[in-house]
Structure 1
Amino acid sequence: MADVLVSIVLERLASVLEQQIRQQVTLVVGVKSQVDNLKSTLQSIRAVLADAEKRQFSEELVKVWLERLKDISYQMDDVVDGWNTALLKLQIGSENPCIPKPKISSCLPSPCVCFKQVLLRCDIGIKIKDMRKQLDAIANERNQFNFVSSSTIQQPHRRITSSVIDVSQFCGRDADINIIIGKLLGGSSQESSSLYIVSIVGMGGIGKTTLAQLAYNHEKVMAYFHERMWVCVSDPFDPMRISRDILEALQKDSYGFHNLEATQQKIRTLIADKKFLLVLDDVWTENYELWEQVESSLKGGAPGSRILVTTRNENVSTMMGTTYKHPLGELSKEQCRSLFSNIAFYGRSREKVEELENIGWKIADKCRGLPLAAKVLGSLMRLKDNKEDWESILNNEIWQLDVIEKHLSTPLLLSYYDLSPAVKRCFSYCAVFPKDQIISKDRLIKLWMANSYLNSRESIETEKTGGDYFEDLVSRSLFQDFDRDDEGNIISCKMHDIVHDLAQYLTKNECFIVEIDDEKEVRMASSFQKARHATLISARRVGFPITIHNLKYLHTLFAARVVNLNTAQPPPNLFKHLVCLRALDLSGNVFFGELLRNLGKLIHLRYLNLSDNLILGGLPEAICDLYNLQTLIVSNCQDFLRLPQGMRKLINLRHLEWGGSRELMLPKGIGRLTSLRTLTGFPIIGDHFRRDACKIGELKNLNSLRGGLVISRIANVKDAEEAGKAELKNKKHLHHLELKDFGRLVSSAASKGVAEALQPHQNLKSLKISHYDAATKFPSWIAASSLAQLKKLEIMRCAQVTRLPPLGELPLLESLIIEDMKRVKYVGGEFLGSSTTAFPKLKLLTFYDMNKWEKWEIKEGRSVMPCLHFLSIFKCPKLESLPEHLLQITALQLEVGDSPTLHDRYNEETGKDWPKISRISRVRYYYG
């Protein structure tokens, strides 16, 4: 953690000096030598931080030294970021000399402004000199600890395992063991020559080794394999050591084999034409070259040979070419209680068990299904007979127990040590979230970015780096309980309680979760003063605690849903004190304007969430002074109508989210925000409403937009030339697009031209067109040549269209929804297009509210919708029949609603064509 903080400060120092040279501006005179000394000292300290961070868990003085280093690093970050912001302000001021400023009639700096700049320069210079003194003192103190540099630091001790297991202490996992044994014993004699590898993957302490031991010692496994070998791999991955261990397991002796070639030749000889089982326990390396050196000697066994791998890293499983991966989850509550009881109550009398059982079960529940925790706590309680001792353990936080810190922290800390410094910082930051909270991946990455934890190279998107860090934590089983989108991408997760405890343990005195009540007010005033990240929780929305201003060093403040109309508003000058904030979440509150106008004082702020606020008529102009702002979220603010005119100054803004609010007016100049990656909506306001609103042409330079975009009120676009200025064809990162509210333009020719000019990039994956009322045909770009990547298409409320376009030619289309096409009477060959196979990938097809549709024909002679498995027809009262070709798909699921003609025709009891659909797997009828 300290390593990352020091790295951030070094980067900022380099950046600010570079800006001064580039802009030929010297904000702080004569301070370069001070900065050079700071950089030199920080670099020398960073060289020993890996050793210091490992020793802090066993040496209290080292821990205190690190705390002081982190504190001064935070302070330096604040000062240098303020310096950087001042330079940025000068740059923006020179680029925007004529942005209207209230009550200022001249663009020249006033004497007051000049005086403030002089004061700022003096303040920065004084602070840097003071920080240099503190850092020199910290650097001198390190000598007493005899730290070793990162180049010579020893690897942390990793446990050694064997195949021996005490089955009496095992419970649960019956389903898991049956699956693993089935994979070990399954297969046929015609198996390929490649190795059959079974991987057990899960977090530290979840029971991977125990499961492998049970499988290894199962009587069926022992009888099936000619040779069995158990090797504890651990880290580092040494091909020679591993090969010698395999050889020793095969012939009980590896003496005389001192090189890899001879050792592996002997292994090949001993396993030739024999079915063998090799367990490789606790594999960490992702280096295929190292694995390849071992793998090559294992390919001479008989068909049916197996390799069983345990690892906490999914990437290891993939690298090794796993045939079957088994993710290992938590024990159930009952299994965890049983495991704890087997150890804790061993040898006790029935009376004693009855006295302690209820307390014991509550202690076991604290383990949250983690077998290692249950074993450690069971062993601890086995030595305690007194009921008061049991209650004391129950009432303690699990990570406050010495036995947990000693025995349970080791396997979890190994996962932590194996992370890169930047990913360590991202992991420990998660301590700011309450236990069991659903963590949005997108939000988490933006918060990491706001705190400068994502060290991305220029050629790589910062958000992409954050995604890589997230996937790294996922692969090492440090996140769980994933929610995924339709394409299988993770959108949210949780942390196991004990993993969360580890994160909190690592960020002690940095991250706090505070339940607001009168009792906590006193604690906040005293013990939280050096907090850097805090979450306020208020079950009854009692409002902000009056001592919140004491947390003046906060970088993150989550204060969602703590204020409503009936609670006291926070003091208007609140943000005068919390000036170090990088991330602020005030969602779900009710705020009045005076507080929000003071947000402009938060010059470091990069993430601001004001979503779900009911009383928010518009953001104050002060928001536009937040030059570092990267993310602004104002979603679901019902009274939100406009953004301030000075938004063009927010040149670092990357994400502007306002979905669910009343239609927002974007101000002129939004096109200058070329860093924008997210812009959820773009309403086009007509000149007759507001002349200061932005036009569609401002999309031209926003080519970094990605994700989804809704362009609405297209009827306010005058002609095709104006629409063409948006240059949607150049938005190659935009994958989801909605075009709505075309209305009736001046003429059908004009409306057709506007629609044609809004052609998107061919990378588009989903498209929705709605309220297309101005023309009888869709634009020509709705075709396979223009939308080759399209997977989802919705066409809704297009009142003038009489014929559907040739959508059957779209090669990757999987979902198609057609709704409220009031003039369409016939669907036939024009809908299928001319390709050999029409709708080759289509899985879901829905027609809804087609009140004039009468006929749907598919002519024989070619393949149509071979992948279709769901067909829905609703509110199509005049449709006479369904194509017989589709009714022959036995796996089809058919739903028909409020379509009486179809119901009468295919009714199971009286319908004359019931036999034609009787083979379909599922048919459902619905009535309005």
Structure 2
Amino acid sequence: MAEALVEIVLEQFVSIIRQQGEVRISLIAGAKQEVQNLQSNFRAIQAVLADAENRQVKDNIVRVWLDELKDASYDIDDVLDEWNTKLQKLKIKKAEDASNPLKKVCSLILYYLSCRPLILRHDIAVKIKGLDRKLDIIATEKERFQFRSFTMSSKKEERPMTTSFIDLKEVWGRDNDKNSLVDLLLSQSSQQVLPIISIVGMGGIGKTTLARLVFNDDKVNTHFDKKIWVCVSEPFDELRIAKLILESLTNSPSQLVGLETVMQSIAQQIEGKKFLLVLDDVWTDNRRNWENLKHTLMCGSLESKVLVTTRKESAANVIGTTNKILLGILLEDECWSLFSQLALFETTNKEFEEIGKRIVKKCKGLPLAVKTLGNLLRFKREFKEWENVLESEIWELEEVEQEVFRPLLLSYYDLSPTLKKCFSYCAMFPKDYEIDREQLIKLWMAQGYLKSKDSKKDIELVGEEYFKSLAMHSFFQDFQKEEYVIDIRSCKMHDIVHDFAQFLTQKECYTIEVDSRGEIELESSYDKVRHSMIKIQGEASFPSSIYTRNTFLRSLVVDCNYGADPKIDLSKLVDQFTCLRSLFLEFCSIEEIPIEIKKLIHLRYLDLSGNRNIRELPETLCELYNLQTLDIRECENIKKLPQGIGNLINLRHLLNLWTNSISYMPKSFERLIGLRTFKRFVISEGSYGSEGCCVECLKNFKHLRVFGIKGLGNLRDVDEVKGIELNNKKNLRDLYVDFEGRMNEEQNQQLLQELQPHPDLEILRLDNYSGKTIFPDWMMSLTKLRKLTIWDCVECEHLPPLGKLSSLEILWIWGMKSVKRVGNEFLGIESDAMSASSSMIAFPKLKYLRFGDTKEWEEWNYGSTKREDEDIPVMPSLQTLELYDCRKLKSLPNHLHQMRTLKKEISFCPLLEGN
């Protein structure tokens, strides 16, 4: 946690030093030395942080020291960010003045009086000096702890070793998993590769227990000639693992010392034999670590099997897994059976049973937690003792901390410093909270947690990798992916994992849940909280005590029920929390953004979405020079964007869906060339006044990944669209085009032809196109297109040959009211005979198909779909078919009737009843 924070602060130093080349900076007396002292102290502390963060779990004094370091780091980060912001403001002012001759003369006078060189303000210098003294003390104190250096990594922490022995009396609820796994082990492989089965799951879920169950199964014992159990663990030592395998095969210690000779001996022992090798607790995801062992194991019979247990999905992938088992939680009745056997072995008291079942619910299906609490309560015979366990925060129990958190700590130690910070940040969310993936990545980005050695790589992509890495370490679960969405939308954390994250960040992250029972009393520790989420339920109001308590918050997420009115005083909020990096106020019934919003100079993430009564954004919002994300989705009464929006030079995501009252883009918008996400560029009649931004400026927006353009038909000339240069935007993955406007069919066709995107496009939506067919020359070049939506193209009579799109997974066709028949042209099958050498599958990857509001559609029939007397496969991957308001459609094609597992959702299609 502190490791990542120190890295952020050091990066701030580097950033400011680089800018000295552009703006001369003169520090007041002594301040330059103070900055150098800060940097020196941080470097010294950074070298021992890995050891300090590991030791904090067992040593409260070390934890106190780390808390002091984090407090100082946050404060220093704020001061440096304030300094950096002033530099940005100066650069923006110079750019503005350069474009205005009159202002240029005035600025020369001001520059001479106050900005040559830029004098570091006295208050900032004083803050740096005070913080330097504080950090000096912290750096001196570290010596008494005798920390190990950074190179002596936490991965050398002692890890528990496992064996194959098991007490079957202590196992409950894995019968189905065991039977399925035994069947896999006994099955014959049709491939000429060594079958590797991986059990993947979070620490404490029961992976080793399941492996032991099948290892000792009678059928397994008789099926294999040799059985070997090896605890791999960390650090990975190829020679040690090879010697353990050999010792298990020979039942004697190995005296061999070379890896080559050990591998040769293993090959001799298993040659032609059917063996089962269990590799328990695998951590390494370095492919090279497995190469020698896998080659050696191929000497055995092809009926041999390797069984791997790991909490890292990436480790399962690199080892060459052929079957993956994602081990889930135990059912509640199975947990109760295990708990009652341990805790109630001599008791039938109904009162104890009732409270015991409530305690079991807290374990949320995690076997290790059930077993730990069962053993804890085994000899407690006072009802009050059980009640205390029920009412406590589970991580406050010493036994839970030692037993349940130990496997989670090992997973935590395996993370990089920045990943540790990203994980612990999630403690801010309440238990069982559905965490939005994109929102989480933007929140991480706002805190400066996302780092990449590749300066050309977007930090959003780094965030995606971080999310996947935490998921592969089993820290996330319950992934939600809507049928019409390509990527994962949200996830949750297991309650025990959440408790563990809270254990690591007891004074940093805080969740407040407010209901209608009245004003809450905040704990005194809230004054040190950095990241907080306030969950407002029902008709409750925003807690007024917040306004007077904490001035250090860097994240504030307010979660309201849709339609609620929490009565947030935004002016007070802005005055109080000037350190904020993230402010999330979705659906909070906010009516006005105060001009004081400019005080939030550190703000990177501002979410105002769903506040439908906001009518305008103040010009002072454009003084938030560090802002990276501005979310105004569903702020449907905002009439225009502020004229100075171009000053938001660090803006990367402008989310403005469902803001239809905005009629044009301000002139200064053309300076926002760093945008990665821009949901809607609006073109309307009369958009080209002195205050408006022309469409040609979009050619400079080369970093766009998600882009939408609305009102394309309102362009003055078709040739203007060429200036967008979509085909040169190599990062573009998601494109929305709305042809609404005054252009005719021929002009629309020309527009569509000129809109050719880069071939790496993955998502495309076309709205309000007025041509009779949607088939530009570039359509079939989109070999990576995964989702296509065609919406309200009411004049279109024929569907394009979309079956040729080899990567298409999701297809929505809505409002094509002129289509009467769908045939082979839709599949992309030519009417003339296909050559024998051609390979063809129509819609090879399509999973989700939806037609809606196609009221004139009557026939859905194909002609011949044969090639050389063989049927061409049609939609072999289709999982869901939705038809809505297709009132004249008479029947479905045969291939859909033959798909027994196809999920059909048919509404307002009277002629298809019973299909």
TM-score normalised over the length of structure 2? 0.90
Taking the aligned partners of 1:475 and 1:391, their CA distance within structure 2 comes to 36
Output the amino acid matched with 2:293.
V
* Deviation per residue, 1:493-536 (Å, 9 max, x gap): 10000101111111111111123479997853732111111111
**Structure 1 residues 328, 109: CA separation in 2 closer, same or farther (over 3 Å shift)?**
farther
Deviation at 1:98, TM superposition (A): 7.6
Query: Residue deviations 1:152-190, cap 9 Å, x none?
Result: 3561111111111111111111111111111111116x6
CA distance in 2, matches of 1:233, 1:477: 19
Q: Which letter does structure 1 place at the counterpart of 2:844? A: K
2:837 corresponding residue in structure 1: none
3-state secondary structure, aligned to 2:588? coil
Partner of 1:841: 844
Shift in Å at residue 9 of structure 1? 0.9
Cα distance change, pair 565–212 in 1 and its aligned pair in 2 (3 A): closer
> Alignment partner for residue 754 of structure 2, among 752, 757, 778?
757
1:460: which partner in 2? Answer: 457
CA RMSD for the aligned pairs?
3.4
Cα distance in 2 between the residues matched to 1:361 and 1:116: 72
- Distance across 1 between alignment mates of 2:516 and 2:857: 66
Cα 1:623–1:895 change in 2 (3 A) is closer
Alignment of 1:723-738 (within 5 A): 723-738=721-736
User: Are the equivalent residues in 1 in contact too, given 2:25–2:118 (CA < 8 A)?
Assistant: no
CA distance in structure 1 between the partners assigned to 2:634 and 2:70 by the alignment: 38
**Partner SS for 2:148:** coil
- Do the aligned residues in 1 keep the contact of 2:516 with 2:541 (CA within 8 Å)? no
Does the CA-based 8 Å contact 1:669-1:698 persist in structure 2? Answer: no
Give the C-alpha shift of residue 653 in structure 1. 0.4
Q: Deviations for 1:384-421, whole angstroms, at most 9, x for unmatched residues?
A: 11111111111111001111112222111011011111
One-letter amino acid matched to 2:618: P
Change (3 A) 1:244 1:757: closer
Change (3 A) 1:476 1:153: closer
CA contact (8 A) 1:765 1:792 kept: yes
Q: 1:81 maps to which residue?
A: 81
Task: Give the structure 2 partner of residue 204 of structure 1.
Answer: 203
2:473 counterpart of 1:476: yes
| Mapped partners of 1:518, 1:797: distance in 2 | 45
| Cα gap change, 1:688 to 1:96, in 2 (>3 Å) | closer
Equivalent in the alignment of 1:867: 874
* Aligned residue identity for 2:173: G
- Specify the code of the residue in structure 1 equivalent to 2:461: K
**In 2, distance between residues paired with 1:879 and 1:518?**
52
- The answer as to whether partners of 1:541 and 1:561 remain within 8 angstroms in 2 is no
- The question of 1:640 aligning with 2:638 is answered yes
Q: Can you list the C-alpha shifts for 1:535-565, whole angstroms capped at 9, x where unaligned?
A: 1122233124234342111111112328988
What amino acid is aligned across from residue 158 of structure 1 in structure 2? R
Q: State the match for 1:50 in structure 2.
A: 50
Task: Summarize deviations over 1:53-74 as a string: whole Å, max 9, x none.
Answer: 1211222211111111111011
Matches within 5 A, 1:797-836: 797-801=792-796, 804-805=799-800, 807=802, 810-813=805-808, 816-821=811-816, 832=828, 834=830, 836=834
Counterparts of 2:30 and 2:411 in 1: how far apart (Å)?
A: 45
- Matched residue of 2:735: which SS? strand
Deviates more, 1:55-64 or 1:657-666: 657-666
**Which of 384-393 and 654-663 deviates more?**
654-663
- Paired position in structure 2 for 1:137: 137
Instruction: Give the whole-Å Cα distance in 1 for the aligned partners of 2:396 and 2:892.
Output: 68
- Check the 8 A contact 1:671/1:698 in 2, yes or no: yes
Q: Which residue of 2 aligns with 1:587?
A: 586
- Number of equivalenced pairs: 893
Change (3 A) 1:28 1:862: farther
Pairwise CA distance, 1:811:
4.7
Q: Counterpart in 2 of 1:449?
A: 445
Residue type of the partner of 1:286?
D
Correspondence for 2:8: 8
How far apart are 1:199 and its partner, in Å?
1.1
Q: Does 1:377 align with 2:373?
A: yes
State the match for 1:915 in structure 2. Answer: none
1:395 aligns with 2:391: yes
For residue 619 of structure 2, what is the aligned residue in structure 1?
A: 621
Kindly indicate whether the alpha-carbon contact (under 8 Å) linking 2:195 and 2:306 is maintained by their aligned counterparts in 1: yes
Q: Distance in 2 between matches of 1:203 and 1:796?
A: 43
Matches within 5 A, 1:246-261: 246-261=245-260
Residue 490 of structure 1 aligns to a residue whose secondary structure is coil
Q: Quote the offset at 1:265 in angstroms.
A: 2.3
Deviates most, 21-30 or 877-886: 877-886
CA distance in 2, matches of 1:538, 1:883: 51
Distance 2:150 2:518 in 1: 41
The answer to whether the aligner puts 1:325 opposite 2:324 as a matched pair is yes
List aligned pairs for 1:172-191, cutoff 5 A: 172-187=173-188
Instruction: Give, as a single letter, the amino acid of the residue that structure 1 aligns with 2:555.
Output: T
Amino acid at match of 1:781: D
**TM-score of the pair, normalised by structure 1:** 0.89
270-279 or 734-743: bigger deviation: 734-743
C-alpha displacement of 1:896: 7.9
Closer, same or farther: CA 113–201 of 1 in aligned 2, 3 Å: farther
Change (3 A) 1:719 1:388: same
Identity percentage of aligned residues: 42
TM-superposed CA distance for 1:839, in Å, is 4.2
Once the two structures are superposed, what CA deviation does each residue of 1:409-462 show, in whole Å capped at 9, x if it has no partner?
Answer: 211101101111110011000001111001111111111110001112312210
Change (3 A) 1:647 1:266: same
Give distance in 1, aligned partners of 2:907 and 2:564: 45
Q: Distance in 2 between matches of 1:79 and 1:899?
A: 64
Other-structure match for 1:359: 355
Partner of 1:914: none
Q: Which one-letter code corresponds to 1:413 in the other structure?
A: L
Q: Distance in 1 between matches of 2:849 and 2:142?
A: 68
Are the equivalent residues in 1 in contact too, given 2:520–2:543 (CA < 8 A)? no
CA deviation after TM superposition for structure 1 residue 795, in Å: 3.6
Q: Which residue of 2 aligns with 1:310?
A: 309
| 8 Å CA contact retained: 1:817, 1:845 | yes
- CA-CA distance at 1:695 after TM superposition: 2.8
Which segments of 5 or more consecutive residues in structure 1 lack a partner in the other structure?
Answer: 904-922
Deviations 1:817-862 (A, max 9, x none): 5554455566667665748458453746666555666777755475
Contact 2:246 2:254 in 1 (8 A): no
Answer yes or no: is the 8 Å Cα contact 1:783–1:806 preserved in 2: no
Q: CA 1:624–1:250 in structure 2 vs 1: closer, same or farther (change >3 Å)?
A: same
Following superposition, the deviation at residue 224 of structure 1 comes to 1.6
Q: 1:919 matched to which residue of 2?
A: none
CA offset at residue 805 of structure 1? Answer: 4.8
Native 8 Å contact 1:744 1:751 kept in 2: no
C-alpha spacing 1:720/1:195, structure 2 compared with 1 (3 Å): same
1:369-768 equivalences under 5 Å are 369-457=365-453, 458-484=455-481, 489-516=487-514, 523-524=521-522, 526-539=524-537, 540-561=539-560, 568-570=567-569, 572-593=571-592, 596-665=594-663, 666-687=665-686, 692-707=691-706, 709-745=707-743, 750-768=747-765
* Paired residue secondary structure (1:128): helix
Whether the 8 Å CA contact 2:822–2:859 is kept in 1: the answer is: yes
The 5-angstrom pairing of residues 900-915 of structure 1 reads 903=911
SS where residue 404 of structure 2 aligns?
Answer: helix
Tell me, what secondary structure is at the counterpart of 1:739? strand
- Gaps in structure 2 of 5+ consecutive residues: 835-839
C-alpha distance in 2, partners of 1:706/1:753?
Answer: 24
